[in-house]
Amino acid sequence: MKNRKLKPESLMMSYGYKPELSEGAIKCPIFQTSTFVFKNAEEGKSFFELAYGLREKEAEEEVGLIYSRINNPDLEILENRLTLWDEAEECAVFESGMAAISTVLMEFLSPGDLLLYSNPTYGGTAHFIQHVLTRYGIHVLGFDANDSREAIEDRIIDSGHANNLTLIYVETPANPTNALIDIQMCRELGEQFGTVNKDVIVAVDNTYMGPLWQHPLKHGADLVIYSATKYIGGHSDVIAGAVLGNFDLMGKVKVMRTFLGNQTSPNTGWLLMRSLETLKLRMDKQEENATKVAAFLSEHPLVEKLYHLGHIEKETRQAEIFEKQCEGTGAMVSFNIRGGEKEAFQFLNNLGLIKLAVSLGGTESLAEHPASMTHVGIDPAEKVKYEITDRLIRLSIGVENADDLIADIEQALHPILVPVSFV
């Protein structure tokens, strides 16, 4: 197949694995080992020189296996396979999405630097930015999907730290409303505020789109970050994270990972490789189901507003960004139920097939109430600004039969009376 560029889904069973190194096993074994035996002392010395960046890698030279906090075959093969989806040069896997995010932020930010970040973000990310980074003298500045480029530029200048802008961190689509941020605009802001001595890095949390429905590196991002707990793991049974980018930046991320010691375990690495074999199948089905669920909700009298990428109002800035950077409508569907928390809770408690739990991207459909659960920590005024109201319900759609999912939603909505004020 030398003349054909195979699609990532065709390579997830084999890429980067050599059966002859593992007794011919068709599947990569779990290399449950903390350390690796060197052939001789010279080899050990040479591996360490590379790992510590004391010399350049020679052509065709592979980084030798040393110790599982630095590298391990399960992690390396998994990382190689993950690079295929985003066409990235390099990948690093972590023990959680938060480990991936915090490692990137800590590697590239120093006291005095300015971090520009989009709102809303996953609650853990917002906490890390606002309450941890600020303790280390890092200046942080938020913006959101409603802000124009000019408004963001003015805010950067007014902050008094424009010369220190170092990193732009974006979560798009934003959890839980699917609000979109323009990645290319962030790249342009990075160019505008970068200096000859310092490039501004653009990092995108692509968790909501998995590696299938959006490829931020193509739109100017330097780093793509995933909570691999979601679509990559896909079965709600592992916690993991991943970062992808070019050799230079990822070399730095990997060194930081070595010293924070937050790499994923061989066992989790193996589970993620197993998950990757069905990534496309699962995500295609999830997207198809979500499209049907969203169509049903859009017609239901108890649904006041729908947040789904297939239902963005035409000829708006959001529609323009969707056309430019998204390759699918995803499997996250949020909606406002008519009424308030009482009606939202009634709906959640009435569900049968769809489970009441946080997290997303797994094979089973999940429902939750962002205002009192995943986004409870957000300042009340910001919640109003980002439409995270008591009426909002978030659904992560799985691989079940779409008609069964719709029947479950229908029966859960059925006993709820439309509040008088809406009749």
Ligand X SMILES: Cc1ncc(COP(=O)(O)O)c(C=O)c1O
| Of 207 and 365, CB closest to ligand X | 207
| Of 47 and 143, CB closest to ligand X | 143
Give the nearest distance from C-beta 11 to ligand X in angstroms.
25
Give the nearest distance from C-beta 20 to ligand X in angstroms.
35
Beta-bridge partners for 26: none
Give the nearest distance from C-beta 196 to ligand X in angstroms.
33
Give the nearest distance from C-beta 124 to ligand X in angstroms.
5
* Consecutive H or E run containing 228: none
Buried-state track 247-259, b at ≥16 Cβ within 10 A, e below 16: eebbeebbbbbbe
Residue nearest to ligand X (CB): 97
| Of 239 and 319, CB closest to ligand X | 239
Beta strands in 213-342 (DSSP E): 223-227, 241-245, 303-307, 332-337
Q: Does the bond joining 29 to the residue before it have cis omega, within 30 degrees of 0?
A: no
Rounded Cα distance between 392 and 383, Å, is 11
| Of 387 and 404, CB closest to ligand X | 387
| Of 109 and 366, CB closest to ligand X | 366
Give the nearest distance from C-beta 157 to ligand X in angstroms.
29
Give the nearest distance from C-beta 164 to ligand X in angstroms.
26
Give the nearest distance from C-beta 279 to ligand X in angstroms.
16
| Of 302 and 397, CB closest to ligand X | 397
DSSP letters of 155-169? HHHHTT-GGGEEEEE
Round the CA-based radius of gyration of the chain to a whole number and report it: 23
| Of 97 and 220, CB closest to ligand X | 97
**Do 245 and 255 meet the contact criterion of CB atoms below 8 Å apart?**
no
Rounded Cα distance between 283 and 285, Å, is 5
Rounded Cα distance between 189 and 240, Å, is 31
| Among 264, 273, 227, 267, CA closest to 94 | 264
Give the nearest distance from C-beta 95 to ligand X in angstroms.
9
| Among 56, 144, 216, CA closest to 378 | 144
| Geometric angle at alpha carbon 167, from 166 and 172, rounded to 5° | 160
**Do 249 and 103 meet the contact criterion of CB atoms below 8 Å apart?**
no
Beta strands in 18-164 (DSSP E): 90-94, 114-119, 139-144
Could you give the 3-state DSSP secondary structure of residue 138? Answer: coil
Task: Indicate the residue type of 37.
Answer: V
Give the nearest distance from C-beta 97 to ligand X in angstroms.
2
Beta-bridge partners for 335: 306, 393
| Of 122 and 270, CB closest to ligand X | 122
Rounded Cα distance between 164 and 37, Å, is 45
Scan for tokens 């499997």, then name that residue.
Answer: 331
**Do 292 and 285 meet the contact criterion of CB atoms below 8 Å apart?**
no
Give the nearest distance from C-beta 227 to ligand X in angstroms.
3
Rule CB under 6 A: which residues touch ligand X?
A: 96-98, 122, 124, 171, 175, 205, 207-208, 227, 229, 239, 241, 359
| Of 121 and 164, CB closest to ligand X | 121
| Among 415, 246, 230, 208, CA closest to 325 | 208
| Of 229 and 275, CB closest to ligand X | 229
